[in-house]
Structure 1
Amino acid sequence: MIKLVIFDADKTLWDHYNISEFQDPLTLAGRDVVVDSKGRTLSLFPNVRKTLEELRRRGVRLAMATWNFPHKTDKVLKALELYDYFDLIVSRDYPYKFVMISEIIREFRKRNLNLKPEEILFVDDRRAHFGNVWIYVGKVNCLEMWKDISDHLEIISKV
């Protein structure tokens, strides 16, 4: 049974490939669209909110593991009003998702929630991250966004 879903951010939750390049100030151009001072935009993919809401309703913990500067991730999540959906956000300036996922597991242990790798679902748009997750973390369930599934609502059926 899946107790935790960990999401990547760029090209998984929204259409931009690297929010670390966004420059302040960020403005909201619609409920699901953020624009930076240089005119760069990101749009939340369809059904992300519905999926996060349903997973929370079912009692599934939510976390994020993203290769971005932490302050940029926080600003975008807060602008989109998504920040509070996540129990943990690990945003780092390096691409090692297995390190981030290990950090998430350790942090949940500190909160008295011991998660086995097979109780975790990791959703990322790049399959390249999965190998090291399996080697260093264990049998984490992994879904490649846009290859294994084509809509965020499909995540609900995997939980």
Structure 2
Amino acid sequence: MIKLVIFDADKTLWDHYNISEFEEPFSVIDGNVLRDSKGRTLKVFPNVRRTLDELKKKDVKLAMATWNFPHKTEKVLRALDLDHYFDVIVSRDFPFKFIMISEIMRKLRESGTSLKSEEVMFVDDRRAHFGNVWLYLGKIKCLEMWKDVNDHLEILSKLERS
């Protein structure tokens, strides 16, 4: 049974490929679109909030592992009012998701939640990250966004089959 779902951010939760380029001040349009001072925008994908709400109702822990500058991730999540969903957010300026996931699991363990790898699901838009996750962390269930699932709500059905 899955007890933790870890999400990537860029191209997984929203349509922009690199929020580290965003510059303040930010403005939020209709709650799901963020514009930076240079006019760059990102849009939260449909059903992201609904999926996060449903996962929380099921008492699933939520985390984020993203290759972005930590201060940018924090500010974008806060501006979009998404930060409160996540129990742990690990944002690093390097692409090694298996290291970020290890850090997430360590932080959860330190706060009293120990998980086996088969109780963890990782959702990312790039399958390239999965090899090292499996190699170093074991049987984590990995879903490639837009290939294994085409809508965030489909993650809920994958959760139930685990």
TM-score normalized by the length of structure 2: 0.97
Shift >6 Å, 4+ stretches: none
Once the two structures are TM-superposed, the CA of residue 158 in structure 1 deviates from its matched residue by 1.5
> Which residue is equivalent to 1:45?
45
Q: How many residues align?
A: 159
> Which residue is equivalent to 1:107?
107
> Which residue is equivalent to 1:85?
85
Q: Deviations over 1:17-69 (max 9, x none)?
A: 00000001011022100000000000000000000000000100000000000
Q: Which runs of 5+ in 2 are unaligned?
A: none
- 1:66-145 correspondence runs (5 A): 66-145=66-145
The residue identity in structure 2 corresponding to 1:93 is D
TM-score normalized by the length of structure 1: 0.99
- 1:30 matched to 2:24? The reply is no
Q: Which runs of 5+ in 1 are unaligned?
A: none
Alpha carbon RMSD of aligned pairs, Å? 0.5
Question: Once the two structures are aligned, what percentage of the paired residues are identical?
Answer: 70
CA distance in 2, matches of 1:8, 1:64: 6
